[in-house]
């Protein structure tokens, strides 16, 4: 199922029609306040599969319009966020989600940055601890040094 879905996505990608940079504007019948917010949030997290890196909120492509209407209808029917996402991934694969789900193959994506941060913080703390043991630069009295050196030479 997964493979088919990503194949479909790839196919759609290769068929990508000319890109339009016009804003996607379509007045759908108004939803209630909370539902409207949910709608806006959701369409800005779904990818327009035939576009160049655009959300379905931004795209003018017919597919994006279809998907917006789909999301709109499902929200109006009272379906939950998870249900709608599931519906989308069943049809189009993970590619449709701009916020990847936490899965084995996205573990590094979600935790990588924080693991790196933790390592860097630990390194910084260890570094500062160690740096205390470094010799402190001592201001050298140049004249005294010269005197000492010339005494050395004179001997």
Instruction: Catalog residues that contact other proteins under the rule CB under 8 A.
Output: 2, 6, 9-10, 13, 18-28, 40, 44-45, 47, 52-55, 58, 93-100, 105-106, 108-110, 112-114, 116-117, 120-121, 124-125, 127-128, 131-137
Q: Least separation, in Å, of the C-beta of 155 and other proteins? A: 29
Do residues 60 and 20 make contact, with C-beta atoms less than 8 angstroms apart?
Answer: yes
SS3 content of the chain, % helix, strand, coil (to 5): 60, 5, 35
Q: Least separation, in Å, of the C-beta of 71 and other proteins? A: 14
Which residue number, 84 or 96, has a Cβ lying nearer to other proteins?
Answer: 96
For the record, the structure tokens of 99 come out as 């916020």
DSSP state of 97: B
Q: Least separation, in Å, of the C-beta of 83 and other proteins? A: 18
Residues in the chain: 155
151 burial level (CB within 10 Å; 0-12, 13-18, 19+): exposed
Q: Least separation, in Å, of the C-beta of 28 and other proteins? A: 7
Taking the CB of residue 36, how many other CB atoms lie within 10 A of it?
14
Which residue number, 99 or 155, has a Cβ lying nearer to other proteins?
Answer: 99
DSSP string, 73-93: HHHHTT--HHHHHHHHHHHH-
């Amino acid at each position: 199922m997964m493979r088919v879905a990503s194949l479909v996505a790839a196919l759609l990608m290769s068929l990508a029609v000319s890109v339009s940079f016009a804003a996607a504007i379509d007045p759908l019948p108004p939803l209630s306040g909370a539902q409207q917010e949910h709608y806006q949030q959701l369409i800005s997290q779904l990818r327009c599969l035939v576009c160049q890196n655009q959300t379905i909120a931004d795209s003018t492509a017919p597919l994006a319009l279809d998907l917006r209407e789909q999301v709109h209808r499902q929200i109006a029917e009272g379906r939950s966020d998870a249900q709608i996402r599931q519906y989308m991934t069943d049809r189009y694969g993970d590619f449709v989600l701009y916020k990847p789900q936490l899965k084995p193959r996205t573990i590094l994506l979600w935790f990588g940055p924080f693991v790196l941060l933790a390592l860097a913080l630990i390194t910084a703390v260890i570094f500062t601890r160690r740096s205390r043991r470094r010799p402190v630069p001592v201001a050298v009295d140049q004249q005294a040094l010269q005197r000492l050196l010339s005494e050395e030479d004179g001997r």
